[in-house]
Structure 1
């Protein structure tokens, strides 16, 4: 077990932009794609992801000081730390059964593919931690490996199904054919996007607003350019953060650059996947005709560069801060995880076809749910960290994670397995949500 765990941890220690090209190259060889094309595609997808991460890291670097200033100006000091998602991932890989659960998740995916219950080939191994973390939480409370395994399987199946249902809209939204997004932190909120979009269809006036940055550019010219929208948002954030004129200008141009460059990096990833996707479809059609059409799973990072995702996330960031200051019972300021809100709204934006106003409105209740759920689960995450001897550097108090810690589907599944009455009562509600999501998404 120790050898298997060490090997798994070594492989998972590589950055996604190293791990993914290796996986893509191996798949290309399996699918009998020409060696030159396989090598080019593998290198290109790695380079595309490096570009995405470089630009995103730059965005974090310029937006975090603004957030810090906004927090200081409120004078609030809540007693739980938002440590972001990294501690949760680190805790997951410290879980004794993590290597076994990696194999379990792979086996579930293969079984679902063979039985035609999913179309997603989940090669996004790094993000398996989202599923395994669910099992780790259940095991920490129950000490029952069977219940822990079952919880991991259930969250994996739910996520793969949502990835399938969302894939057609994701393909149209991103311009990348043959992909799906089984990242739990993003897939969770596709049902919110689909059902929320349907509800907005019935709202007078609001249902007439077509606030897609690309379409706005066509209708109102320069003022509708995504980079100009980002520039204006940067000015407003700079003023709110108490910046001087020079810093406001730097922030505004920085956000404009992020909104302009990120889609180009995503396009590099998309173009590199075309030969792999076509090769995979041809191979499966020839060797396994019963399976039908399939999708290659990718990290939600390939969507965060789309202008409507960036604009929606930037609009929601100050809203999340304001709500954390004003809502009773919220125990933390969403600092560590705030910029990653792009991932949580990515599939919401796909569901609304890039409509920023609709995505923003749907995003507000999502933020509220995250704030309360992450607050409620803080003591659980802190206790789990102690059980695997994980410690945050320079901090010994209670911590949580705004986005991954507040993931409503994961927390619901965990509460089910620990016998929470409210979670049991919500079973028909979630079944109805999943049924309506599938039904509405199928219509396109």
Structure 2
């Protein structure tokens, strides 16, 4: 099983996902030719998304390094980034079996009606492997590590179901949910924050979404211009040369334009599968609707997401400097800020100001979480013979190392015999609550008649009820 898992993860999502989609489409009754084309388009879309995200990473990296130097940051715990974190997770004993474990949990919950999401994003099962590896170290038991990974899967599926109406409406993705280990937990911050924002005079009426900005500023409010300006700002703050600064501005403008185009290619292949899945499930389970669980990379191209993420780079570095007790030097994951804010943005109505405030709160708390778990994170890296960059002896990350769910599992991992069974009960009750709630809320993209109920202003989708 370890070799199978390593083989699947080595192929990457651009290969694994098209194969899974092809098989899935055949099961749904699609013709082989159409199923093959859909799978291939989805693979091409992921390749394109990966290329643009790599462009974003390579461009922001030097600016972030320059800002860290300019801020005279003297922090001793290195943010090694998500590639290293995922390698550590999959290299652990829990990671060896996490894909069959995650699939088994997902299928079981689908069978008993505790989730609508079929999470086919196997590569990102590393998120649950990561928490499982930490708990296994803390408890000294691989079985508790597997239990933690399974509970984590239940929570992510419930969060994906709960957030699906916002995701589908804002991004216009029919029957899609995002059970992503980095992105999904932050909806637990965005929902109450949006409630608070809607009750603050003047703040609740302040429009700062890309569409409003473009209406007010014309061509200068377009997403590509916004990307250019933010790139120039990052270059100046990072002390880059004039040429490097201009190149950064142009490249961020390109990211703003190209990411949505790449996502549209992926969606061209995915929408027929999504529709076939909905029809398949409704024929066999009247009243139920299936969501296809994908990587949140499919949504990071939205202008509000990129704008928020780029603004969060200098804010994150500033927080690292001024927060007392923080030991983490943000670096490896600075370019992955879009994944931290991508599921908060729809709940906050695409409002960039609200999203930046929410992101600032998330990172402020996350730096303390990343500092707290650093000793066990470093131990997990040593267990798989991970070679730290520059010979660093204290490791952590901003992606899952600073994640609120990581903090929950890390705390309960110290007392697994009490904490994990209690968390399992809470997770199942949460999944039951979400499933009961979603039975009365068909997907906004499902074609069911919509009846708006009383919801608060921006950010919250119209919740609908069955006729």
TM-score bracket relative to the smaller structure: over 0.9
Deviation of the 1:55 alpha carbon: 1.0
Offset at residue 393 of structure 1 (A):
5.1
Return closer, same or farther for 1:176/1:442 CA change in 2, 3 Å cut-off: closer
Picking from 396, 400, 420, the partner of 2:396 is 400
Match of 2:441 in 1: none
- Looking at structure 1, the residues matched to 315 and 94 of structure 2 have their Cα atoms a distance apart, in angstroms, of 39
Q: Is the 8 A contact 2:94 2:146 kept in 1?
A: no
In structure 1, C-alpha distance between the alignment counterparts of 2:344 and 2:143, rounded to whole Å: 34
Q: Which moved more, 1:145-154 or 1:312-321?
A: 145-154
Residues 266 and 303 of structure 1 are in contact (CA less than 8 Å); yes or no, is this contact kept in structure 2?
A: yes
TM-score, normalised by the number of residues in structure 1: 0.92
**Are 2:303 and 1:332 equivalent residues in the alignment?**
no
2:448 equivalent in structure 1: none
* Conserved 8 A contact 1:340-1:403: yes
- Of residues 186, 204, 207, the one that matches 1:207 is 204
Higher alpha-carbon deviation: 243-252 or 277-286: 243-252
- What residue in structure 2 maps to residue 18 of structure 1? 15
Q: How far 1:416 sits from its partner (Å)?
A: 1.1
1:145 shift after superposition: 3.5
CA distance in 1, matches of 2:58, 2:13: 20
1:195 and 1:267 map into 2 onto residues whose CA distance is: 31
**What CA distance in whole angstroms lies between the structure 2 residues aligned with 1:142 and 1:243?**
46
Name structure 2 gaps, 5 residues minimum.
438-454
1:109 to 94, 106, 110: 106
Question: What SS does the aligned partner of 2:292 have?
Answer: strand
Measured after TM superposition, the shift of residue 406 of structure 1 is 1.1
**8 Å CA contact retained: 2:166, 2:461:** no
Q: Is the 8 A contact 1:374 1:403 kept in 2?
A: no
How big is the shift at 1:115?
A: 1.2
Question: Which shows bigger deviation, 292-301 or 33-42?
Answer: 33-42
Measure the CA separation in 2 of the matches of 1:354 and 1:97. Answer: 37
Report what 2:183 is aligned to. 186
Moved more, 275-284 or 176-185: 275-284
Q: CA deviation at 1:101?
A: 3.2
Checking the alignment, whether the CA contact within 8 Å between 1:85 and 1:405 is kept in structure 2 is no
Partners in 2 of 1:371 and 1:210 — Cα distance?
Answer: 29
Please show how residues 262-411 of structure 1 align to structure 2 within 5 Å.
262-286=259-283, 288-289=284-285, 292-392=288-388, 394-411=390-407
Match of 1:88 in 2: 85
- Trace 1:57-96 onto structure 2 (pairs within 5 A): 57-96=54-93
Query: In 2, distance between residues paired with 1:144 and 1:290?
Result: 43
RMSD: 2.5
Quote the offset at 1:396 in angstroms: 4.6
What are structure 1's unaligned runs of at least 5 residues? none
Query: Aligned residue pairs: how many?
Result: 435
Greater shift after overlay, 307-316 or 172-181?
172-181
- Secondary structure of 1:183's partner? coil
Q: Which whole-Å CA distance do the structure 1 matches of 2:258 and 2:304 have between them?
A: 14
> Residue 265 of structure 1: SS of its match in structure 2?
helix
Match of 2:2 among 2, 5, 10: 5
Question: Which residue of 2 is the match for residue 55 of structure 1?
Answer: 52
Distance 1:310 1:410 in 2: 25
- The secondary structure found in structure 2 opposite 1:60 is helix
Give yes or no for the alignment of 1:412 onto 2:418.
no
5 Å-filtered alignment, 1:150-165, equals 150-165=147-162
The more displaced of 322-331 and 379-388 is 379-388
Structure 1 Cα separation of the partners of residues 63 and 326 of structure 2? 21
In structure 2, how many angstroms separate the alpha carbons of the residues matched to 1:357 and 1:96? Answer: 42
TM-fit CA distance, 1:217: 1.9
Distance 1:216 1:74 in 2: 31
